[in-house]
Amino acid sequence: MFKKVVLGLTLVLLVTGLVGLAQDAPKYGGTLKVAIFDESPMLDMSMTTADLCTLIGHHVFEGLFEDDGNLEPKPHLVDTYEMSNDGLLATLHLRHGVLFHNGKEMTSEDVLASLNRFIDYTPRGPLLAPFLDHIAAPDAYTIELYLSQPCGALTAILAFTNGGAIIVPKEIAEAAGDEPIAPENCIGTGPYEFDEWLPGRHLRLVRFDDYVSRSGEAFGYWGARTAYLDVIEFIPVPEVGTRVAGLEAGTYDYATEISADLFDQLDSNSGLQTLVVNPASYPYYIFNTKEGIMANVKMRQAILAALDMEPIMRAAFGPEALWDISGSIYPPSTIWYSDAGTELYNQANPERARQLAAEAGYNGEPIRFMTTTSYKFMYDMALVGVQQLEDAGFNIDLQVYDWATVVSRRVQPALWDIFTTNDATVGDPSIVCWLSDAYPGWWTEPEKYRLVEEITATVDFETRFEIWEEFQEFFWDQVYLIRLGDYYDYYAATADLKGVGTDSHPVMKYCYFWNVWLDK
pLDDT of 371-387, one tens digit each?
999 888 999 999 999 99
- What interhelical angle do 376-391 and 297-306 show, nearest 10? 100
- State mean pLDDT over 467-483: 97
- State mean pLDDT over 243-258: 96
| DSSP β-ladder status, 132-139 and 142-147 | antiparallel
pLDDT of 299 strictly over 50: yes
487-508 burial, b for 16+ CB within 10 Å, e for fewer?
bbbbbbbbebbbbbbeeebbbb
285 close to 484: Cβ distance less than 8 angstroms: yes
What's the CATH code, domain 31-234+491-518? 3.40.190.10
Q: For the segment 73-109, what is each residue's pLDDT rounded down to a tens digit?
A: 899 999 999 999 888 999 999 999 999 999 999 999 9
Of 210, 122, 120, 107, the closest CA to residue 160 belongs to: 122
Which is more confident, 194 or 458? Answer: 194
pLDDT of 430 strictly over 50: yes
- In which band, very low, low, confident or very high, does the pLDDT at 337 lie, cut at 50, 70 and 90? very high
CA gap 254, 246 in Å, rounded: 9
- In which band, very low, low, confident or very high, does the pLDDT at 459 lie, cut at 50, 70 and 90? confident
pLDDT, residue 5, reads 32
Of 366, 401, 363, 365, the closest CA to residue 382 belongs to: 401
Other CB atoms within 10 A of residue 251 CB: 14
Where does CATH 3.40.190.10 sit in the chain? 31-234+491-518
DSSP letters for 181-236: PPGGG---SSSEEEEEEETTTEEEEEE-TT-----S--BTTBS------SEEEEEE
- State mean pLDDT over 207-232: 97
| Least reliable range by pLDDT among 184-188, 262-266, 514-518 | 262-266
pLDDT, residue 259, reads 84
- In which band, very low, low, confident or very high, does the pLDDT at 18 lie, cut at 50, 70 and 90? very low
pLDDT of 3 strictly over 60: no
- In which band, very low, low, confident or very high, does the pLDDT at 33 lie, cut at 50, 70 and 90? very high
Q: Compute CA distances 412 → 38, 306, 355, 394, whole Å.
A: 21, 27, 30, 23
Q: For the segment 476-485, what is each residue's pLDDT rounded down to a tens digit?
A: 999 999 999 9
pLDDT, residue 29, reads 98
- In which band, very low, low, confident or very high, does the pLDDT at 425 lie, cut at 50, 70 and 90? confident
Of 454, 350, 352, the closest CA to residue 393 belongs to: 350
Where does CATH 3.10.105.10 sit in the chain? 281-487
What percentage of the chain carries pLDDT values higher than 70? 96
DSSP state, residue 85: T
- State mean pLDDT over 174-195: 97
User: CA 60: distance to chain centroid?
Assistant: 16
- State mean pLDDT over 172-179: 97
Mean pLDDT score across all residues of the chain: 92
Vertex 397, ends 391 and 398: CA angle to 5°? 90
CA gap 331, 285 in Å, rounded: 18
State the amino acid at position 485 in one-letter form: G
What percentage of the chain carries pLDDT values higher than 90? 78
- In which band, very low, low, confident or very high, does the pLDDT at 426 lie, cut at 50, 70 and 90? confident
- State mean pLDDT over 435-457: 90
DSSP letters for 224-237: ------SEEEEEE-
DSSP state, residue 363: -
- State mean pLDDT over 199-217: 96
**Torsion, CA 252, CA 499, CA 62, CA 511, rounded to 10:** 40
Cβ neighbourhood burial of 103 (10 Å; 0-12, 13-18, 19+)? exposed
pLDDT of 16 strictly over 80: no
pLDDT of 12 strictly over 80: no
pLDDT of 9 strictly over 80: no
What's the CATH code, domain 281-487? 3.10.105.10
Q: HSE of 389 in the Cβ direction (CA atoms, 13 Å)?
A: 26
Other CB atoms within 10 A of residue 210 CB: 10
